[in-house]
Structure 1
């Protein structure tokens, strides 16, 4: 974070934060705890968070243990083979996280602000922070997210009883990524586990057929399991109906009853613009979270980085300095952009080979690939390790996908 002197003017608040998702609430709470005067604005300040948030357990930082809803000690990745990831994965209890980030001394207003209104808060606060998300009002494409051509991660999931989910988990405590292609509903490859399947379903649109997707299967506690079909990145994002159909075929193929799949406990839809907001934050306003490009553009993960950024930024603001930006461009982000290009261009075979190679990396290199904080050297080591472990048939494809025009 680079810093500049705070403007000298008479204001009512030290900090105004717009948006009370994880990034905004964490920052407002940390600033309040450090004695700063804080204003927050959100359309529904008391609303619970509804997405499923997962982090690596070591990234919880100062949050209390009760924010963990469920934990998977040895999550697995499946591609060509079976890879156990030696890191504990935690699903957050959203209500507990919100309680752990209190807003006791904060002035809270209900309201939905556009860019001009966010800028106007500079008359009330020395620092204004935009935490409205990746597509805030004022930055959303008029034609709607379904027509947005920018890279996005999309997912469709269902929550089912643990006993019914066991067949889908296929012996794993939890599946962080299961890239096997039995979402076609049949096995045409040579592998007995379906990993040799490279075909597509005839009902899918041609633009979707080359896109690999994976099953995310994670226990949520309380005898519930989330089973989610995820497209890690596509431009435009893979349509939800395609993901819904793939998930249904995959789960029926693995033996789940149709009634369980079609009438789940609840459903979840995910859409994460990978590069964040479609245009910069308003002049004189800082952006944090996914709208501030705080997400990892290769994995889509952002919550752990948002919590860490809140600690750093609040500490800086408490010293009286104002950063000119929160996440300045670095060489590591150029590497992540190269990784995103590869994900957008690789076909199914190459994607399976890429993540099979990831599963073979030493844990410290796996950690660097997932982390938003990893430096260029660490990230380059992880990416080279994946390339070196891929079969020759896919190395040339990866090079073309990453470096080509």
Structure 2
């Protein structure tokens, strides 16, 4: 049986969340090791978007592969049946970017290398925690000892415990990068949401709505992704693929070449925050850090990892702290009461949108993007304070047409419990 050198922190995982927190901890001059069944250099399968202002404020705009200033949505005609709005674009007047996945991964890996983060390959299967340290055992019997364990293995985390709040809303997407018989969107354009549905039959319009997320890559290449905002049960990938093809056929556009197929992004949108009294810590998707309203994650990782690492470094240098003490400080830093309250509001909003019919969704987003630019941007990036978030939601409600107001007021399921978690976020 191999027993590895004791470390300050052992991070489980090798995705964005794991690399973000491992690199930040390494920069605090802590002894950090990473354990994963995958190689940390293994390419990531999915694309990651971010608003231009977010990445500029972080000083990391060089990590973008693409950036668009012509950013719009198409919300189609809503309950007003105003045909003049059917093909009218809603401008967002904000830059949007797509990360260069290799550069983003290399950025974190380089920081890890600078601080001598150690890499271990293996599958964690057992966990023991005492007053002095934590021990993770792998499937081949290796033991890894650390003062603190951080589980960053994603939504199906290895060791983290979380409450059961019922059904999980899942965002599903089917996307392709390729060439087409003609341009499916304007030159240098990014489409956040295209909810137009005149390509669907009346029966299909009664099914859960989906939208197109699309961008011009230049040189005749485009990325098109049919997306379901978040549902339980989720929209099937076969349905999304069929809808994307139907959308293109309606416009007499043929797919000439597929360079890449993005198959099945199953993104849990309202995964509960883990139990905050456990003796290990989480980070990334495993810690419930996905934005419930937008599905964004990477911006939050980049903003929050350095602050969490600083607080953990202080806790780890206090030799009287047990693993449970350090984890508690970590959870309090990662999920303070104000962030838990905001998360409850976001979950409440998603619960409503899951039940909205197509016309209600169109009307909702039409009102949402008519809010002051800073309000809807802050909502989507989770950068508003609690009071600012409440003001944004109240402004949205006042502007909304009656069908949306009624949908927001009607209580059909978990809304009361979600609002109670806003009032009393617990521990």
For the aligned pair, the TM-score class normalised by the smaller chain equals: 0.7 to 0.9
Alignment partner for residue 174 of structure 2, among 151, 156, 177? 156
Give how far 1:297 is off. Answer: 1.0
Label 1:373 to 1:14 Cα distance change in 2 as closer, same or farther (>3 A): farther
CA gap 1:56/1:165 in 2 versus in 1, 3 angstroms: farther
Alpha-carbon distance, 1:112 to partner: 2.5
Q: Check 1:240–1:282 CA distance in 2 against 1; reply closer, same or farther (3 A cut).
A: farther
The question of whether the paired residues in 2 share the 8 Å contact of 1:72 and 1:90 is answered with yes
- If asked which structure has higher relative contact order (CA below 8 Å, sep 6+), I would say 1
2:196 is paired with a residue of what secondary structure? coil
Which residue of 2 is the match for residue 335 of structure 1?
345
Residue 145 of structure 2 corresponds to which residue in structure 1?
124
In 2: Cα distance, 1:43 partner to 1:123 partner: 14
How many equivalent pairs are there? Answer: 365
Task: Describe the shift of the 1:26–1:404 C-alpha distance in structure 2 as closer, same or farther (beyond 3 A).
Answer: closer
Measured after TM superposition, the shift of residue 221 of structure 1 is 5.4
Match of 1:288 among 265, 275, 283: 283
Q: 1:15 aligns with which of 9, 12, 27?
A: 9
SS at match of 1:345: coil
Aligned to 1:65: 61
Match of 2:322 in 1: none
Deviation at 1:379, TM superposition (A): 1.5
Structure 1 gaps of 5+ residues are 1-10, 141-147, 187-198, 203-208
Contact 1:115 1:282 survives alignment (8 Å): no
- Deviation at residue 280 of structure 1 after TM alignment: 4.9
Aligned to 2:117: 106
Q: Deviations over 1:66-110 (max 9, x none)?
A: 311000113111113421112111100011011211221111011
Q: Which structure 2 residue ranges, 5 or more long, are not aligned? A: 77-84, 137-142, 317-325, 418-427
> What is aligned with 2:92?
85
* Structure 1 counterpart SS, 2:157: coil
Partner of 2:294: 299
**Residue of structure 2 equivalent to 1:345:** 355
1:309 aligns with 2:326: no
TM-score, length-normalised on structure 2?
A: 0.78
Distance 1:370 1:235, change over 3 A: same
Out of 52-61 and 380-389, give the one that drifted further: 380-389
SS of residue matched to 1:174:
strand
Tell me how large the CA RMSD over aligned residues is.
2.9
Distance 2:253 2:46 in 1: 24
How far apart are 1:27 and its partner, in Å?
Answer: 1.0
1:200 corresponding residue in structure 2:
203
User: How far did residue 247 of structure 1 move?
Assistant: 0.9
Q: Give the distance between the partners of 1:401 and 1:90, measured in 2 at CA.
A: 37
Which residue of 155, 160, 163 maps to 1:134? 155
SS of 2:34 mapped into structure 1: strand
Alpha-carbon distance, 1:126 to partner: 1.4
Q: Which of 379, 383, 387 is 1:377 aligned to?
A: 387
SS for the counterpart of 1:336 is helix
